[in-house]
Chain A
């Protein structure tokens, strides 16, 4: 019975061989904060936020990569751990444009700081992911601001030259989640860590813009970015999480059937994210599923029934009139020529329920099996 037991915060747990400290803890609802850890990818230990204290160990241990060992005694929120996390967060917050309220909590250099950010950002607003940021969450949790250390500037300008993704290096904390999402999850192999030391940067194709790289704009990197370094271009500053409701549904493009969330603001779809932890896609989407939703709000949508006049032009009609006309004409054709001169092309784009109704109409009303759809085309 003494095999494979670990004590975390005074509680005794069993673990499976090869489980990490983080895995045992999260399985038992003990929250060890992480920034770089990405499900489905090997732990990198890059961010140092998940450090925990292990009895008898010289230094703190990264819970995401540290294997659980028999007899191990772990503290996840000891004073030493908290001190380490505060320091890590302070360093992250002091580097770049983290202009959430956290930065200005004791408002010494807030105005000057905000003006500097505004100049680089081209917007007077606070960080685009304010309220939806893991770094901000942790800054509150550990009550730190970015003012302990002088602000270090980012030497790399924002990249906005592609239609979908804004890369803001000033808000990047180099956690590497995007690199893992691109290489280990989607395996598009478009972005990597480049340069070294203080000059480290996430680069694409020898430090070119995404549009000139192997990037296919799946946006997995945006979805996993824990901060405001990668955001959807169309949603930036326009969509704040508290203004939207999320509706889980199934993508309407190819047959994979990815599960996604439509983010709705004022009756319009404004952003799409993959539904995580659920098959078949486990959070992943492609460029069409994530960014190709403008057709929903398109001004070109049909909004009223149309009937062709004798002069060949369409005119608007009421539902009543349009349906009467269709019922009358189809009835006449059935009567005169028989139901088999009618065909129903139902659709691989509409729901099962609608397909069922369409074939039922052809069979039960028109009395024909001339029912098909675009599977062949």
Chain B
């Protein structure tokens, strides 16, 4: 997030898109609901499903799946045409406005309506509402990123925010909601193939040299590594030999699972380090038991870049170890000594090679976390990014044209499928499905469908249905819902026994490598 969670209550217009916030970020959704209910904020929701937040919204635009670039360009078309944009911000803080203006010319409200299904007048009203905000906040989540053009979607939202001067101010911002406790931190400390800690490119010789010196090694690779979604296909071809997987369950979370399973089985050597015997661990050569969050010391970075403490409350079961200790032991036995007294000692090393974390010490975050960047111990941290300038100086507008999703419906596969989570379960269910109460509330997978669509297939609420895509099929119960949009079914991906990802498409965004979980084509038939 460029801004803080607290900032949401300072916005006068909030635009939420591709985020079922009340189910996936319930506590954060309260900030949105309070802003709307008690602080006169206007709420715009752009989502195909009738999610709970639509009942709080002043405007709900229901776009066709995979058409986000179109409505965002449409909003900018109206804002520029009606001269509602922030001329001063555009002039002083940005580059590339002319190209953007030229590109969005063709995205007239009528043209947008044809592609997205959003009524032209509604688009105009929403454009005026967002552009009229003193501080407008954009919140988005995987509904924006999990597309073959997800990077385009994100850049388009950034265009919109810059156009209206909504960056670098309290209550504004472009705010991705992180779905996992430490996605932000994993990225911050170099858990990515293209960057070291603090996003220092591995292709930058200075960064490579700095790391070699800090780690006392030579010959670090300066070649960008493979993304997870690139490793597996290479395993399938035999080019890729070994994987060490920590705390992940790709055999439920990856797209096109049947293929993913073949890839993993083709590895020469698989190590899985986890707290449970997951679907993935069952295929491993060696399984290493680790401690869970309640059993260890350390830090997580949350979605607003706040680095917070994790503390040990109980002992790990049996012989389980902290994850860092396991990895360090393996390294040491391979001839590179890695030895730390504590997680705090590791954190001290992180500070020396991570400029944005340099000022964050354990004592400083004892009570309250600090937002990075925090370059020095006397620096208070940075709740709002880009207040004076962008890291690259001026913000760049990207003129982005519309590209349709990778897979569309046809005669054989006439329905769209979109996937996501429900409030009572979490990701692949490894943790939440151990709590009886949560299972009582959300016991099994389901196929959310509009009653009208169900009628076409003569399906009744609660019927078992087989859902098939070009890649696989699953069987689950039909659930009638007024959340559903006609022509599209929704299936949660938590449940391994009816894994939605047997159906999903592994087509990737070319930049982010994120799969298109939110759009694929399926067919339904009543299960025997």
In the bound assembly, the distance between CA atoms of A279 and B304 in angstroms comes to: 11
Q: Which of A256, A351, A372 is the one whose CB lies under 8 Å from B193?
A: A372
* Structural contact, A185 and B30, CB atoms closer than 8 A: yes
Interface presence of B78 (CB below 8 A): no
* Structural contact, A264 and B189, CB atoms closer than 8 A: no
Interface presence of B398 (CB below 8 A): no
* Structural contact, B304 and A254, CB atoms closer than 8 A: no
* A371 neighbours in B (Cβ, 8 Å): 190-193, 225
How far apart are A311's CB and chain B's nearest CB, in angstroms? 13
In the bound assembly, the distance between CA atoms of A233 and B349 in angstroms comes to: 44
In the bound assembly, the distance between CA atoms of A217 and B424 in angstroms comes to: 9
* B334 neighbours in A (Cβ, 8 Å): 327, 330-331, 365
**19 more A-B contacts (CB under 8 A) besides A301-B292, A377-B255?**
A217-B441, A257-B306, A278-B367, A278-B368, A284-B27, A295-B276, A296-B295, A296-B314, A300-B434, A305-B319, A326-B271, A342-B244, A349-B293, A353-B346, A363-B196, A363-B220, A371-B193, A372-B225, A374-B183
Q: Per-residue 0/1 for B241-257: is the Cβ within 8 Å of any A Cβ (1 yes, 0 no)?
A: 11111111010011100
Interface presence of A86 (CB below 8 A): no
Most buried by B among A216, A289, A294, A370: A370
* Structural contact, B299 and A357, CB atoms closer than 8 A: no
In the bound assembly, the distance between CA atoms of A60 and B201 in angstroms comes to: 68
How far apart are B73's CB and chain A's nearest CB, in angstroms? 25
Q: Which of B4, B308, B367 is the one whose CB lies under 8 Å from A250?
A: B308
* A375 neighbours in B (Cβ, 8 Å): 180, 183, 186-187
- B136-172 CB contacts (< 8 Å) to partner A: none
State the main secondary structure of chain A at its contact with B: mixed
Interface presence of B103 (CB below 8 A): no
Known: A370-B225, A372-B193, A375-B186. A360 touches B314 (CB 8 A): no
Q: Which of A251, A326, A356 is the one whose CB lies under 8 Å from B190?
A: A356
In the bound assembly, the distance between CA atoms of A118 and B39 in angstroms comes to: 46
In the bound assembly, the distance between CA atoms of A374 and B330 in angstroms comes to: 22
A262's nearest neighbour on chain B, judged by CB, is B313
* Residue tally, chain A, CB below 8 Å to B: 108
* A253 neighbours in B (Cβ, 8 Å): 180-181, 426, 431
Pick from B91-99, B104-112, B281-289, B519-527 the stretch touching chain A.
Answer: B281-289
* Structural contact, B309 and A348, CB atoms closer than 8 A: no
Known: A280-B302, A372-B226. A252 touches B293 (CB 8 A): yes
* Structural contact, B293 and A357, CB atoms closer than 8 A: no
6 inter-chain pairs at a CB distance below 8 angstroms, sorted by A residue, are A218-B26, A234-B437, A287-B424, A293-B435, A341-B241, A348-B182
* Structural contact, B228 and A376, CB atoms closer than 8 A: yes
How far apart are B448's CB and chain A's nearest CB, in angstroms? 17
* Structural contact, B211 and A370, CB atoms closer than 8 A: no
Q: Which of B226, B239, B276, B313 is the one whose CB lies under 8 Å from A302?
A: B276
Q: Which of B34, B182, B220, B343 is the one whose CB lies under 8 Å from A367?
A: B220
* Residue tally, chain B, CB below 8 Å to A: 145
Known: A248-B311, A344-B244. A288 touches B424 (CB 8 A): yes
* A365 neighbours in B (Cβ, 8 Å): 331, 334, 336
Interface presence of B326 (CB below 8 A): yes
How far apart are B383's CB and chain A's nearest CB, in angstroms? 10
In the bound assembly, the distance between CA atoms of A349 and B186 in angstroms comes to: 8
Interface presence of A44 (CB below 8 A): no
How far apart are A101's CB and chain B's nearest CB, in angstroms? 31
Interface presence of A235 (CB below 8 A): no
Interface presence of B324 (CB below 8 A): yes
Interface presence of B462 (CB below 8 A): no
